[in-house]
Amino acid sequence: MRLALRQRAAAPRDLSIPIQVFSYAILLAGALVMILPFVWMTSTACKPPVELNKVPVTFLPENPVCRQNLASLYDTSPHFNRYLLNSAIVTIGRTLGQLITCSLAAYGFARFKFPGRGVIFALCLALLMVPFQAILIPEYMPIRKLGWLNTFKALIVPGTFSAFALFLLRQAFLQIPTEIEEAAIIDGANPLRVLWHVTLPLSVPALAAFAVITVQAAWNDFLYPLVVSNSPDTRVVTIGVALLQGERRTPYNLLMMGSFLATVPMLVLFLALQRYFIAGIAMGGVKR
Amino acid sequence: MITESRPPTLASRALSWLGPTPLSRRKALWGLALIAPNTLGLFFFFGIPVLMAFSTSLQEWNAIKPPRFIGLDNFERMISDDRFAQALTNTLKLIGLTVPLEVLLALGVAVLLNLPLRGRNVLRTAYFLPVVTSTVAASVVWTSILQPRYGIVSRMLEPVGLGETKWLVEPGLVLIPIAAVAIWQRLGFDMIIFLAGLQSIPAELYEAAVIDGAGRWGRFRHVTLPMLSPTTFLVVVLAIINSFQIFDQVYVMTLRTVPGGVGGSATTLTYYLYRRAFTHSEFGYASAIALVLFALILFVTVFQLTIQRYWVYYEAEEG
């Protein structure tokens, strides 16, 4: 209620017609640029080969052949479905892993006193400052030594630990009044039960916000899988799309079909859970 | 003197560093157990690599022969490496192309979308869609859009005679489409942070400004901008960090022509270190480049933190 009031006052209602026209003109033009690539991707994905090199360029396909193009995509890249599945496995693995390890750790940091707590937490946060590229090579080395290249272990295990998630979830847990948890503790519940039955249910919005941005980052990850995985069995879809692009003979309609398949899951997820995405961005502002 | 305390048992003496009472010790043990998995994982997969980044940068390491300590040779080599200089220049150019544009556009869009306009939620969604899209897929789509003659941009630019422009081949142009994709994907992200900032500005300030006779521009200039400056600061810092790390776009958009751009014209620092490491197996040299990248990001962030007091307004200081 308060937020609504504020918003109304912050943006006075007395919008004159010229201002409205001006705003809509700019916003719609911008939105068009934002949407255009999606329309182009979808329409090109359905164009028959003869329409690809037509001059003048046609925007929508005259004879849409979506199904045939999908079939040709699987002819060109027989494992494409496997790549989509691999991406799903990696995404779910990383997200569940982070939810488990990081909510345990966040709960530990938020509610328990132990020697070295401040120092350990500060060290974890310091990791946030290191850009991933800086540790790409030293992270690749042990993974190669462990014999993890081209395995799901390499793609998932390091991604189940996160300083960013630790920070966000600790913030969320600190918002919950301790009195609620204390009631459960007096009833004799051990910390794990308190976390599971009291703290986590109360943090669902924060967990959901965190989960969707983690899903998004994991699904779209490229550089790390590019380095640790290069076999069809564990190849993720971003690499699959890049491989199509690298093959110069791949026509654009198939490229767009591949991009479409790689994009749609995240678009659907976003449209369904938009407010959690927004909350996730507003909460932390950083990926990974 | 009568002491009530029983003689400490061996177990409680061994655990005395955890806390003064049995209860506090038990709580401390729980705490340590809870943080253990994530902390150990972070240590092994991120902490140790950070430390190793330093030692590797001082080694010659081609992954076949055992690594050899060579002091600062990698860094010396960097100074005389023209392609490193080019990658650094390209990265800085990309920052110059992306950051001001994306921040200004995002601010403008956020201000307009904060107005009580009908359908603004749909518009917000439209602006945010690129953020959730994979950069790889986005780069592929933009490559198609920018094809000379057969792409939709070429068609639009045909009347001004730019229909045949080879955006991804011309060394002088290639950074523009790469920046365009980065801006396209980043705008919605910045917009959301700006919107959150705009909505946290207290309405009383606007009411007071109206009473003082401020018009729309006056309110924007003297209320919105200063109150929003901490948000703007955050957005600028994150945008610079993000642009320093541009990789996917370069990799994908130059894959069909000359990887890394004709004559290295699209090669960024991240792309260059990736190539050095994983194409040429020069892991030591690539680690040194990675450290320089890290140092640059750190330097720019610290620099921003120091100059922020000249332009960022924090309410608490005045209140």
The per-residue pLDDT for range A147-159, each reduced to its tens digit, is: 999 999 999 999 9
Structural domains in chain A, sorted by start: 13-65 (no CATH), 77-284 (1.10.3720.10)
Nearest to A137 among B56, B128, B129 (CB): B56
What percent of chain B shows pLDDT beyond 90? 68
Q: What is the mean pLDDT of residues A179-205?
A: 87
Dist. CA B293–CA B304, nearest whole Å: 17
Q: Do A285 and B114 touch (CB under 8 A)?
A: no
Q: What value does the mean pLDDT of chain B take?
A: 90
Burial of B302 from C-beta contacts in 10 A (0-12 / 13-18 / 19+)? exposed
pLDDT at A269 over 90: yes
| Nearest chain A CA: its distance from B195 CA (Å) | 9
Closest Cα of chain A to B301: distance in Å? Answer: 10
Asked if pLDDT for residue A11 goes beyond 80, the answer is no
Cα torsion for A139, A283, A129, B306, to the nearest 10°? 170
Q: A257 vs chain B: nearest CA distance in angstroms?
A: 10
A197-203, Cβ contacts within 8 angstroms, sequence gap of 24 or more: A199/A107, A199/A173, A200/A103, A202/A176, A203/A169, A203/A172, A203/A173, A203/A176
ipTM at complex level: 0.90
At A62-76, the pLDDT tens digits run 889 999 999 999 999
Nearest to B27 among A112, A137, A256 (CB): A112
Q: What residues does B68 pair with on adjacent strands?
A: B60
* Residue bearing the bigger pLDDT, A60 or B87: B87
Find chain B residues with C-beta within 8 A of A76's C-beta.
Answer: none
Alpha-carbon distances of B58 from A189, B55, B67, B77, B289, rounded to whole Å? 53, 5, 10, 12, 11
Residue B118 has pLDDT above 80, yes or no: yes
Confidence of residue B111 (pLDDT cuts 50, 70, 90): very high
For residue B1, is pLDDT > 50? no
Q: What is the pLDDT of residues B242-301, one digit of tens each?
A: 999 999 999 999 998 899 999 999 999 999 999 999 999 999 999 999 999 999 999 998
Q: Are A257 and A73 in contact (CB under 8 A)?
A: yes
Is A258 a residue whose pLDDT tops 90?
yes
Average confidence score pLDDT of chain A: 89
Instruction: Give the pLDDT score at A96.
Output: 97
* A274 contact B CB<8A: yes
The pLDDT tens digits of the residues spanning A120-172 come to 999 998 888 888 888 899 999 889 888 999 999 999 999 999 999 999 999 99
Q: Are A46 and A69 in contact (CB under 8 A)?
A: yes
- The CA-CA-CA angle for residues A246, A252, A254, to 5°, reads 85
Does the pLDDT value for residue A3 go beyond 80? no
pLDDT at A284: 65
Does the pLDDT at position A15 exceed 80? no
State both tokens at B166: 């080879």
Interface contact A31-B127, CB threshold 8 A:
yes
**Tens digit of each residue's pLDDT (9 = 90 or more) over B70-87:** 989 999 999 999 999 999
User: Min CA distance, B1 vs chain A (Å)?
Assistant: 32
Q: In the predicted model, what is the mean pLDDT of residues A210-221? A: 93
Q: Contact, B240 vs B95, CB < 8 A?
A: yes
Average pLDDT over residues B16-45: 90
Say what the pLDDT of residue B128 is.
94
Cβ contacts of A212 within 8 Å, gap of 6 or more: A269, A270, A273, A276, A277, A280
CA–CA dist B66, B288 (Å, integer): 18
Residue B12: what pLDDT? 63
Q: What would the two tokens of residue A76 be?
A: 């060109």
Q: Do A11 and B114 touch (CB under 8 A)?
A: yes
Residue A288: predicted pLDDT: 36
CATH superfamily of B73-318: MetI-like (1.10.3720.10)
Q: Where are the domains of chain B?
A: 73-318
* Phi-psi group of A135: left, alpha or beta (phi > 0 → left; psi -120 to 50 → alpha; rest → beta): alpha
- Which is more confidently placed, B318 or A85? A85
Tell me the nearest-neighbour CA distance from B6 into chain A, angstroms: 24
Q: Return the half-sphere exposure (C-beta side, CA atoms, 13 A cut-off) of residue B99.
A: 21
**Distance from the B2 Cα atom to the nearest Cα atom in chain A, whole angstroms:** 31
- Per CB-CB distance under 8 Å, the chain B contacts of A38 are 129, 141
B256: which chain A residues are within 8 Å (Cβ-Cβ)?
A: 245-246, 248
Report which DSSP code applies to B60: E
Mean pLDDT of B42-58: 91
Query: A23-54, pLDDT tens digit by residue?
Result: 999 999 999 999 999 999 999 999 999 888 87
A157 close to B (CB below 8 A): yes
Does the beta-carbon distance from A27 to B147 stay under 8 Å? no
Mutate which of B21, B24, B29, B35 to disrupt the A interface (most A C-beta within 10 Å)?
B35
CA distance B211 to B76: 63
A-chain residues near B143 (CB < 8 A): 245
Per CB-CB distance under 8 Å, the chain B contacts of A136 are 273-274, 277, 290
Nearest residue on chain B to A20, alpha-carbon basis: B117
SS3 label, residue A55: coil
Q: Using a CB–CB cutoff of 8 Å, tell me whether A96 touches chain B.
A: no
**Alpha helix (H) residue ranges in chain B:** 10-14, 22-42, 48-56, 73-79, 82-113, 120-132, 135-145, 152-157, 175-199, 203-211, 216-219, 225-244, 248-253, 269-278, 283-307, 315-318
Q: Is there a contact between B138 and A158 if contact means CB atoms under 8 Å apart?
A: no
- Decide if pLDDT at B231 tops 50: yes
Report d(CA A73, CA A254) in Å as an integer.
Answer: 6
> Which amino acid makes up residue B81?
D
Is A16 at the interface with chain B, CB within 8 A?
no
Alpha helices (runs of H) in chain A, residue ranges in sequence order? 2-10, 17-45, 49-52, 66-76, 80-111, 117-127, 132-145, 152-156, 163-174, 178-186, 191-194, 200-202, 204-220, 223-228, 237-246, 252-272, 274-284
- pLDDT band with cut points at 50, 70 and 90 for residue B180: very high
Pick from B115, B131, B298: which is nearest to A129 by CB? B298
Least confident of A3-7, A22-26, A197-201, B43-47: A3-7
Residue B148 has pLDDT above 80, yes or no: yes
**Which amino acid would we find at residue A197?**
H
Higher-confidence residue of B248 and B12: namely B248
pLDDT at B3 over 70: no
Give the residue from B21, B51, B112, B132 with the most A CB atoms within 10 Å of its CB, the best one to mutate.
Answer: B132
A11 at B interface, C-beta within 8 A: yes
Band (pLDDT 50/70/90 cuts) for residue A13 is: low
What is residue A4's predicted lDDT score, i.e. its pLDDT? 38
Collapsing DSSP states into helix, strand and coil, what is residue B59?
strand
